[in-house]
């Protein structure tokens, strides 16, 4: 079984554009300054990844194209020397921040879904035995990933699905310059999860980009992961074209289509990952927009690592099938009970273990809204 991957591995399209813009201004006299932007987005989507996808799990709904999981995303850029800038960008969930108990199972601790306490009473109910006093409460000592206190009786525990686990602060140091060929930019970015419950190390990428002088609105940027365990060496290559339409005094419409090609060293795959179409209306310092994202290759978003067709014989998912476990049909005591009946009726035909879990097609199109304000000092 699998869940949607929620790993952030790069810069925002807006910041990338700002870096090229900084390089194109170097011909003018440099003056230190600060740029500030405060955005509220309807959902945190990055490179096609729905970072707040666990909101669907909290709500017991199927994964969809639109996720109501808003986030506050401030950005502060210090232009401290000619060509040099330091950006601090953050994302903080505004809803669904705390963990929620979504399975309704008696457990020995957080994360326990397969011990005798969590499963045997369902099996006994399926067999017609409703005497909970007969439940085997033997501790499964081999399950080292379970967090539990031996002195605490079995109870109901919350799953690790709070959106605050995805809060982050990213720090980017970059340098931009102009040449006869075009604008060049490069730098390093560190992605840092701010909530201790995430238990994830910082990610570090290096990037380099180019915007040709003959076509300055076209830009290409390559990002390389240099430190993330299991992902080091992964790349993301983004090609975008910026169109700005002046509609009046301090009013403009920005359209910045782009497409990304990725390589993933963890899954050993490569391909066209996503295509973005952000449309933003600027009204003075305010802006409002919508971004559509088409996920061309679902392998990057499924969360599967198995490439064998054999697992499909068991009704389970595999890399590239476009399927993910459906939260609306797997969460909650009723769904767990029904699925356990199906599992028991099928048995274990291959001897490798089997657990029935209804699936759904992963949405290829996702979109979100943005509203914010920008200013410079």
Instruction: Per residue of the chain (377 residues), give pLDDT as tens.
Output: 333 333 333 344 445 555 555 555 445 678 899 999 999 999 999 999 999 999 999 999 999 999 999 999 999 999 999 999 999 999 999 999 999 988 877 776 666 655 555 555 555 555 555 444 444 444 444 444 445 555 556 677 788 899 999 999 999 999 999 999 999 999 999 999 888 655 566 789 999 999 999 999 999 999 999 988 888 899 999 999 999 999 988 899 999 999 999 999 998 999 999 999 999 999 999 999 999 999 999 999 998 666 555 455 555 666 778 889 999 998 888 888 888 888 778 766 655 566 788 999 999 999 999 999 999 99
Alpha-carbon distance of 91 to 9, in angstroms, equals: 14
The CA radius of gyration of the chain, in Å to the nearest whole number, is 24
* Cβ neighbours of 221 (radius 10 Å): 25
Helices (H), 35-98: 54-59
* Paired tokens of 221: 């940027």
Phi, psi of 52 (to 5 degrees): -100, 30
Angle CA(81)–CA(87)–CA(91) in degrees, nearest 5? Answer: 170
Question: Packing angle between helix 116-126 and helix 333-346, nearest 10 degrees?
Answer: 70
pLDDT of residue 1: 34
**Going from the N-terminus, what domains does the chain have, and what CATH number goes with each?**
13-96+169-304+362-376 (2.40.160.40), 104-158 (no CATH)
Which long-range contacts (C-beta less than 8 Å, at least 24 apart) are formed by 330-339? 330/357, 330/358, 331/57, 331/60, 331/102, 331/103, 332/60, 332/102, 332/103, 332/104, 333/103, 333/104, 333/105, 336/103, 336/104, 336/105, 336/122, 337/122, 337/125, 337/126
pLDDT of residue 376: 93
pLDDT of residue 123: 54
pLDDT of residue 191: 92
Alpha-carbon distance of 171 to 192, in angstroms, equals: 8
Indicate the pTM of the whole model.
Answer: 0.81
Per the DSSP assignment, residues forming a β-bridge with 251 are 248, 283
* Cβ neighbours of 47 (radius 10 Å): 24
């Amino acid at each position: 079984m699998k869940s949607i991957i929620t790993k952030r591995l790069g810069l925002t399209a807006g910041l990338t554009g700002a870096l090229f813009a900084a390089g194109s201004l170097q011909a003018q006299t440099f003056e230190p300054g600060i740029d500030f932007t405060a955005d509220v987005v309807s959902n945190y989507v990055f490179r096609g990844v729905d970072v707040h996808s666990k909101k669907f799990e909290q709500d017991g709904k199927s994964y969809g194209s639109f996720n109501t999981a808003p986030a506050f995303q401030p950005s502060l850029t210090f232009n401290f020397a000619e060509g040099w800038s330091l950006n601090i960008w953050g994302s903080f969930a505004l809803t669904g921040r705390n963990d929620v108990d979504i399975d309704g199972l008696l457990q020995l601790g957080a994360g326990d879904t397969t011990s005798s306490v969590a499963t045997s009473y369902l099996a006994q109910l399926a067999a017609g035995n409703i005497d909970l006093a007969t439940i085997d409460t033997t501790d499964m000592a081999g399950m080292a990933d379970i967090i539990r206190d031996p002195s605490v009786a079995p109870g109901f525990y919350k799953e690790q699905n709070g959106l605050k686990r995805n809060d982050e602060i990213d720090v980017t140091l970059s340098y931009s310059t102009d040449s006869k060929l075009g604008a060049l930019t490069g730098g390093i970015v560190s992605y840092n999860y701010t909530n201790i419950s995430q238990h994830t190390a910082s990610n570090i990428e290096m990037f380099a980009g180019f915007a040709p002088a003959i076509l300055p609105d076209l830009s290409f940027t390559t990002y390389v992961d240099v430190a993330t365990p299991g992902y080091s060496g992964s790349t993301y290559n983004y090609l975008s074209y910026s169109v700005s339409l002046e509609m009046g005094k301090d009013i403009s419409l920005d359209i910045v289509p782009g497409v990304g090609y990725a390589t993933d060293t963890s899954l050993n795959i490569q391909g066209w990952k996503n295509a973005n179409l952000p449309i933003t209306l600027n009204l003075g310092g305010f802006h409002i927009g919508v971004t559509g994202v088409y996920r061309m290759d679902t392998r990057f978003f499924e969360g599967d690592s198995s490439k064998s067709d054999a697992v499909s014989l068991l009704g389970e998912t595999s890399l590239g099938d476009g399927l993910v476990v459906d939260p609306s049909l797997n969460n909650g005591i009723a769904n767990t009970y029904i699925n356990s009946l199906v599992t028991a009726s099928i048995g274990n035909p291959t001897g490798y273990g089997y657990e029935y879990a209804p699936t759904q097609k992963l949405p290829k199109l996702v979109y979100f809204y943005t509203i914010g304000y920008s200013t410079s000092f």
